[in-house]
Amino acid sequence: MQGRPITSILIANRGEIALRVMASARAMGIRTIAIYAEDDAHLPFVREADEAHSLGDGALKETYLNIEKIVTIAKAAKADAIHPGYGFLSENAAFAEAVVKAGIVFIGPSPEVISLMGDKVRAREAAKKIGVPLVPGYDGPEQDAGKLEKEAQRIGFPLLIKAAAGGGGKGMRIVESIEGFGEACRSAQSEAQAAFGDGRVFLEKYLLRPRHIEVQVFSDSHGNHVHLFERECSIQRRHQKIVEETPSPGVKDKAKLLETAVTIARGISYRGAGTVEFIADESGAFYFLEMNTRLQVEHPVTEMVTGVDLVRWQIIEAGGGKVPLTQGEIRQNGHAIEVRLYAEDPDQGFLPTGGTIRRVGEPAGFGVRFENGYEDGCAVATRYDPMLAKLAAHGATREEAAERLVEALGKTFFSGVKTNRSYLQRILRSKAFLAGDTTTDFVGRHAAQVARREPSDEEMALALAAVLGGKDSWVPGSSHARSPGMTETPWVKLAGFRVA
């Protein structure tokens, strides 16, 4: 259905990404249509859309994962196109196919390409044919325990067991020795089956202290393929990214990396925004991991250093247009870093938290970007991804971007809900981060360096004085007053007083 003007878009998602898509669509004069589960009816994205339609109540399969219901609503609302955002159905080939069959434009690649790259084994095969380097491993069809154990011994330890049909850390296990392989493999297969309806796994050599590097690519139906440089997303917890930046502080052969990503996009006749993910070892050698056939959570950092609106580009391409800029016209200026603000407790194993947000404190400042899906009085449901917002900062240098982001985090809060805000500040201030020592084992290896510390007597005295003086309590190490109700720092409760 590519090639016709888009005047209305249904966003098949929720929260901050729905608002993000609406912002670009509104700037282009395009009508926006929201869909929402009943427990989301109070969220800002529902109100901000030109029109909104309820998906009803119930489990996710009855709401945001209900393909038939979403397509029916889109047809009734006369939507020209559907933008899937990320997560939910964004990389579901059956959804993309259903959208196209309904005569609606799917803002993304073809169902065939989504299916190809969504199957990690088929994606590896495609990359191998194109000539892209792969991590040594096993991705064959035989899945019996004996065969997998034999291949594991051939590859050597440590190794990774990974789900063939999905990602996001589901069905993934790190195995240190043959003794633990059998149980880890059975566990990974079971988790993969539950998460993706497909229990197949593949094996990869586990690289020690690698970096997770990805390249933003963009393609159109006219044969144009470009990159918008790389991002590093190595700092993760439970295989989920929490800090992303561009440029990477650790890429050694940038030109080759970028060229390889574009080669993959061209080799599979890609269309739209996509991200090619690599793993890089300590020597700088890089290997293809997978391709995400959608917009990424971390796309703001790319937009900040290139000045490109990727959602606008997606809409233009979906309507049959060409990539707006040539490769030579795309420039990378300065450095940008993004952090994900989660409703979780980093000091309790990143345990997800819920509750009602009493007040949202939004940062302001030069080079700061805040994308938030909540407002005062909103409830945070634990059945959804715990990400509340994304916060990014841009600077002329990496150090300047980090400093701005730390300051912006100090002004950001979700009163009433425990978040990882102060944990993120500790990461950004750490010697390891500032030195660019950002490998995928960062969270574990530098746990002591970024651990919460109890305030000193001087800090407690200053904070208590601020409370007794009727002012917002002070945040040690920050140049501004601490906003009320922030529950994630240890000094909000002092001598029987609690900041409310």
Proportion of the chain above pLDDT 90, given as a percent: 83
At position 476, the amino acid (one-letter code) is P
pLDDT at 459: 53
CB half-sphere exposure, 500, CA atoms < 13 A: 2
Q: How far apart are CA 113 and CA 195, in angstroms?
A: 21
Strand residue runs (E) in 206-301: 211-219, 225-237, 240-246, 272-280, 286-292
Tokens of 67: 């393909």
Residue 498 has pLDDT above 50, yes or no: no
8 A C-beta contact, residue 471 and residue 265: no
Residue 452 has pLDDT above 90, yes or no: no
Q: How confident is the model over 243-250, as a mean pLDDT?
A: 97
Q: How confident is the model over 404-428, as a mean pLDDT?
A: 96
Taken in order 480, 484, 488, 491, is the CA torsion positive or negative? positive
* Fold of the CATH domain 8-107: Rossmann fold (3.40.50)
Q: Tell me the DSSP string of 303-362.
A: HHHH---HHHHHHHHHTTPPPSS-GGG----SEEEEEEEESEEGGGTTEE--EE-SEEE-
Across all residues in the chain, what is the average pLDDT?
A: 91
Q: How far apart are CA 342 and CA 328, in angstroms?
A: 37
pLDDT at 75: 98
DSSP letter for 472, please.
P
pLDDT at 4: 73
pLDDT at 500: 27
DSSP letter for 467, please.
H
Q: What phi and psi, each to the nearest 5 degrees, are found at residue 201?
A: -130, 165
Q: Which CATH number fits domain 211-445: 3.40.1410.10, 3.30.470.20, 3.40.50.920, 2.60.40.10?
A: 3.30.470.20
Give the active site residue among 124, 173, 294, 404.
Answer: 294
pLDDT at 120: 86
For residue range 5-55, what is the model confidence (pLDDT) as tens digits?
A: 899 999 999 999 999 999 999 999 999 999 999 999 999 999 999 999 999
Q: With H, G, I as helix, E, B as strand and everything else as coil, classify residue 456.
A: coil
Residue 134 has pLDDT above 90, yes or no: yes
Q: How far apart are CA 314 and CA 321, in angstroms?
A: 9
pLDDT band at 340 (very low <50, low <70, confident <90, very high): very high
Same fold, 8-107 and 136-205: no
pLDDT at 168: 72
Q: How confident is the model over 476-494, as a mean pLDDT?
A: 40
Residues in a beta bridge with 245: 232, 337
Q: How far apart are CA 388 and CA 352, in angstroms?
A: 11
Q: How far apart are CA 183 and CA 185, in angstroms?
A: 5
Q: What phi and psi, each to the nearest 5 degrees, are found at residue 126?
A: -65, -45
Instruction: Show me where the domains of the chain are located.
Output: 8-107, 136-205, 211-445, 457-498
Tokens of 185: 């493999």
Residue 453 has pLDDT above 80, yes or no: no
CB half-sphere exposure, 470, CA atoms < 13 A: 0
pLDDT band at 130 (very low <50, low <70, confident <90, very high): very high
pLDDT at 385: 87
Strand residue runs (E) in 7-145: 8-11, 31-37, 51-56, 81-83, 105-106, 137-138
For residue range 58-84, what is the model confidence (pLDDT) as tens digits?
A: 999 999 999 999 999 999 999 999 999
pLDDT at 375: 95
User: Can you identify the CATH homologous superfamily of domain 136-205?
Assistant: ATP-grasp fold, A domain (3.30.1490.20)
Q: How far apart are CA 110 and CA 100, in angstroms?
A: 9
Would residue 124 show up in a list of annotated catalytic residues for this protein? no
Lowest mean pLDDT among 297-306, 321-330, 357-366: 357-366
pLDDT at 466: 59
For residue range 179-231, what is the model confidence (pLDDT) as tens digits?
A: 999 999 999 999 999 989 999 999 999 998 999 999 999 999 999 999 999 99
User: Is pLDDT larger for residue 199 or for residue 468?
Assistant: 199
Residue 3 has pLDDT above 70, yes or no: no
Residue 482 has pLDDT above 50, yes or no: no
Residues found in the chain: 500
Q: What's the start-to-end Cα distance of the chain, in Å? A: 54
pLDDT at 464: 67
8 A C-beta contact, residue 45 and residue 34: yes
Q: How far apart are CA 3 and CA 105, in angstroms?
A: 9
